[in-house]
Structure 1
């Protein structure tokens, strides 16, 4: 099945999961369950005192390669990231915000929203890996 083959039968599991993540980010309900792509609530293991508002995930193409998107840094250079937050989904067309992995002064890894969004056809992906539920200011 190619990326442009829209005649396939059944649903696209990557598309279905991204739609699900979008719906739970909108709901922002917390029941203390372990984090996974299919966990029906955000933030089972939040440690910063802020309720998570984002399920961070990465996507894999049909060839198995990790998907990266570029973003512009504060110093006007480009960088790339494999981490995303879903902003919206319409059918299987999704707007994803590129997230940057940063290390704070206590050597703790955190995610930060970039100003870069990318529109993707979720039918072009065959894998998704959920990383962590986090609070990201300003999203």
Structure 2
């Protein structure tokens, strides 16, 4: 069911509630501050990122997406290339995270977007362990203090998601 479905309560009259439109607004706001590439809500985060008199000019609105079928946060997965210092060999390390940064929409698409995985830094320590337990159950006592941009991107069809939660704007730590 797409956002413009006339039988949907979120029809074209209410498109501001569509995940596709919110992520498009995030990309647009981030593009304004990036040359190359309630209090907490997607709209509040977009306004904070667009605020012209901000002392701390952030570049990213991190967000979580909720799967249509399960209503649980979508966990994105990808692989980082790890180069070994002592030789010319490399290996691949799997990473996963429910936190994303919207990079850009595919040409001509309103709902297919490239997302970058953001890895949380909890209690000032890098941690990346997700398994079959709920993300919230595993991290209930740990505070997320920052995010690392991974450079690992995936392309998703936002029509497959039923919800989005945005965090306050940040500037992620660049990938190493």
What TM-score do the two structures reach when normalised by structure 1?
0.75
Contact residue 59 and residue 128 of structure 1 kept, 8 A:
yes
CA distance in 2, matches of 1:71, 1:113: 13
Partner SS state of residue 61, structure 2: strand
CA distance in 2, matches of 1:35, 1:42: 13
Alignment of 1:70-85 (within 5 A): 70-73=77-80, 74=82, 76-85=92-101
CA distance in 2, matches of 1:16, 1:119: 16
Match of 1:96 among 87, 95, 115: 115
**Counterpart residue number, 1:31:** none
**Counterpart residue number, 1:58:** 64
CA distance in 2, matches of 1:138, 1:77: 18
Contact residue 150 and residue 174 of structure 2 kept, 8 A:
no
Cα offset for 1:35?
Answer: 4.7
Match of 2:20 among 15, 19, 31: 15
Contact residue 148 and residue 174 of structure 2 kept, 8 A:
no
Cα offset for 1:138?
Answer: 4.5
CA distance in 2, matches of 1:37, 1:122: 15
Runs of 4+ in 1 over 3 A off after TM superposition: 73-76
CA distance in 2, matches of 1:85, 1:91: 17
Cα offset for 1:50?
Answer: 4.5
Number of corresponding residues: 126
- Structure 1 residue runs of 5 or longer lacking an equivalent are 29-33
Contact residue 95 and residue 117 of structure 1 kept, 8 A:
yes
CA distance in 1, matches of 2:93, 2:50: 33
Cα root mean square deviation, aligned:
2.8
The structure with more helix, counted as a fraction of residues: 2
Partner SS state of residue 98, structure 1: strand
> Structure 1 78/8 Cα, relative in aligned 2: closer, same or farther at 3 Å?
same
- Structure 2 residue runs of 5 or longer lacking an equivalent are 34-38, 83-90, 126-142
